[in-house]
């Protein structure tokens, strides 16, 4: 699988695909490296990570939203500085999106900035979050409210480590892969939808769609690294998804919530007269398969809309939503938070999105 080179405001960085997990962690003669490692990954790969785990400065953390909460950072900083982190050293994140956010945020701020590298170990991190420069951490109940644009120096992907992921974490990553293809357009989505049931068993196929997701995202983030315009389409499924995550107390994994969010966005777009019912019906079977077991039926529409009203992408008095248009292409626009939107959400949460509009589902 060929490498990618992503342009950023700090210069280009490389995404390499390596068969050997955690290859290149030891580079004798280079600057000192300090690792931040997902505890679960450390337990699953003790041999491959032995040198890292034996290094006193290594931080082993649980991959949870609490771990990327601002109140945990004093302990991280004290540990790293106490263990000898100095300017010119390099941080290395080994784990999923949680470890990425912690490593990138520390790299942005510790000693006014350190270089960092990333070994993504979840499908979500490999296919989506690893590129795009963003770091975000939580403050109390406010998720991803502090953040920076801090591209890494290099990203090392070893798809072999996906073999130990739980099914729910695979599906979470697949949610972002489906999102990228939906953004690329109906033809790209139909192609992955046709292969969806084979993806988990066929690694070569999975890697092809994983890499293509990165290529789709790369073109967008290179155009708008700082998320001021075109990059907003990457948030397809995310306003609704974040609201679902928040309302359920983060019981629904991010990429699963995004999958539901796309389905809900499609339903809302049809009800607002923006998209065709056929668009909802075309995507629904694949999206529903990906969020199976996490159906949002029964969630409170009041709670959902309350969270939606606080989204980062909103304008004054209006909701900033990414919705499909008549051609099935997604676009960001401001929409009034009115009775029509509320009715569409309520209908979907009552489980009627499917029944009502599903004529021709499966076509
Ligand atoms: N900075 C960004 O651009 C960006 C983008 C998207 C998401 N995120 C953030 O990423 C987080 C979600 O990331 P995630 O889905 O990677 O979740 P995660 O980092 O919480 O990992 C999910 C689970 O998989 C486990 N795990 C990791 N690698 C494994 C492996 N190889 N084998 C077995 N288990 C493994 C983890 O321990 C955890 O239990 C959220 O906090 C989200 O806000 C950030
Ligand atoms: Zn996401």
Placement of tokens 């306003």 in the chain: 239
Ligand nearest to the CA of 108: 1
- The residue contributing the CA closest to ligand 1 atom 35 is 165
The minimum-distance atom of ligand 1 relative to the CA of 144 is: 43
Residue 90 region by backbone torsions, left for phi larger than 0, else alpha for psi between -120 and 50, else beta: beta
Q: Which stretch of DSSP H or E encloses residue 322?
A: strand 318-324
Longest dimension (CA), the chain: 64
Ligand 1 pocket test: pick from 99, 129, 221 the residue with the most ligand atoms within 8 Å of its Cβ: 129
Residue 55 CA: distances (Å) to CA of 30, 41, 242: 16, 16, 37
Backbone angles phi and psi of 238, in degrees to 5 = -85, -35
The minimum-distance atom of ligand 1 relative to the CA of 173 is: 15
The C-alpha atoms of residue 164 and residue 255 are separated, in whole angstroms, by 18
Ligand nearest to the CA of 240: 2
How many of the other CB atoms lie within 10 Å of CB of 109?
16
The candidate with the shortest Cα–Cα distance to 152, out of 95, 88, 108, 89, is 108
Contacts of 273 by beta carbon, 8 Å cutoff, 6+ apart: none
Angle at 323 between CA 319 and CA 325, to 5 degrees: 135
Q: Specify the pLDDT at position 142.
A: 85
Cα–ligand 2 centroid distance for 59 (angstroms): 25
Q: Specify the pLDDT at position 359.
A: 41
Placement of tokens 């953390």 in the chain: 61
Q: Specify the pLDDT at position 163.
A: 96
Ligand nearest to the CA of 173: 1
Instruction: Name every protein residue with a CB atom under 6 angstroms from any ligand 1 atom.
Output: 38, 40-41, 44, 63, 65, 68, 95-101, 121-122, 124-125, 128-129, 132, 134-136, 144, 161, 164-165, 169, 172, 254
How many of the other CB atoms lie within 10 Å of CB of 55?
13
Q: Which stretch of DSSP H or E encloses residue 178?
A: helix 167-184
Q: Is 131:210 a contact under the CB 8 Å cutoff?
A: no
Instruction: Count Cα atoms within 13 angstroms, Cβ side, for 212.
Output: 20
Which residues of the chain have a pLDDT value below 70? 27-29, 353-363
The minimum-distance atom of ligand 1 relative to the CA of 62 is: 37
Angle at 127 between CA 36 and CA 151, to 5 degrees: 55
The C-alpha atoms of residue 348 and residue 352 are separated, in whole angstroms, by 5
How many of the other CB atoms lie within 10 Å of CB of 261?
28
The C-alpha atoms of residue 288 and residue 129 are separated, in whole angstroms, by 23
* CA 80 to chain CA mean position, Å: 27
* CA 51 to chain CA mean position, Å: 29
Ligand 1 pocket test: pick from 64, 118, 125, 142 the residue with the most ligand atoms within 8 Å of its Cβ: 125
Q: What is the value of pTM for the model shown?
A: 0.95
Cα–ligand 1 centroid distance for 352 (angstroms): 32
Angle between helix 301-308 and 339-349 (nearest 10): 130
Q: Is 37:53 a contact under the CB 8 Å cutoff?
A: yes
Q: Is 251:341 a contact under the CB 8 Å cutoff?
A: no
Ligand nearest to the CA of 122: 1
- The residue contributing the CA closest to ligand 1 atom 8 is 97
How many of the other CB atoms lie within 10 Å of CB of 160?
13
Cα dihedral sign, 35-140-146-109: negative
């Amino acid at each position: 699988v060929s490498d990618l080179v992503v342009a950023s405001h700090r210069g280009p960085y490389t995404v390499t695909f390596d068969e050997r997990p955690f290859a290149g962690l030891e580079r004798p003669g280079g600057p000192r490296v300090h690792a931040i490692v997902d505890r679960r990954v450390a337990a699953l790969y003790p041999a491959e990570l032995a040198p890292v785990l034996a290094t006193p400065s290594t931080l082993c953390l649980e991959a949870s939203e609490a771990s990327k909460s601002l109140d945990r950072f004093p302990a991280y900083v004290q540990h790293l500085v106490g263990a000898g982190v100095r300017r010119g050293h390099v941080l290395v994140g080994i784990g999923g999106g949680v470890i990425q956010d912690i490593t990138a945020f520390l790299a942005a701020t510790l000693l006014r900035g350190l270089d960092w590298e990333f070994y993504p170990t979840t499908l979500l991190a490999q296919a989506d979050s690893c590129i795009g420069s963003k770091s975000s951490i939580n403050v109390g109940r406010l998720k991803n409210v502090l953040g920076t644009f801090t591209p890494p120096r290099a990203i090392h992907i070893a798809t072999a480590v996906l073999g130990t992921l739980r099914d729910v974490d695979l599906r979470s990553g697949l949610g972002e892969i489906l999102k990228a293809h939906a953004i690329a357009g109906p033809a790209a989505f139909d192609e992955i939808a046709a292969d969806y049931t084979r993806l988990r068993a066929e690694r070569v196929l999975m890697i092809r769609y994983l890499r293509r997701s990165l290529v789709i995202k790369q073109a967008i983030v290179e155009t708008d690294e700082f998320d001021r315009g075109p990059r907003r389409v990457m948030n397809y499924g995310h306003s609704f998804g974040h609201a679902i995550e928040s309302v359920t107390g983060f019981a629904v994994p991010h990429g699963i919530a995004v999958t539901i969010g796309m389905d809900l966005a499609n339903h809302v777009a049809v009800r607002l007269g923006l998209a065709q019912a056929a668009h909802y019906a075309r995507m629904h079977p694949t999206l529903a398969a990906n969020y199976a077991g996490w159906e949002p039926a029964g969630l409170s529409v009041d709670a959902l809309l309350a969270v939606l009203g606080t989204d980062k992408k909103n304008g004054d008095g209006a909701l900033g939503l990414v919705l499909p248009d008549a051609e099935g292409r997604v676009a960001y626009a401001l929409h009034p938070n009115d009775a029509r939107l509320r009715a569409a959400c309520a209908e979907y949460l009552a489980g009627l999105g499917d029944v009502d509009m599903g004529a021709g589902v499966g076509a």
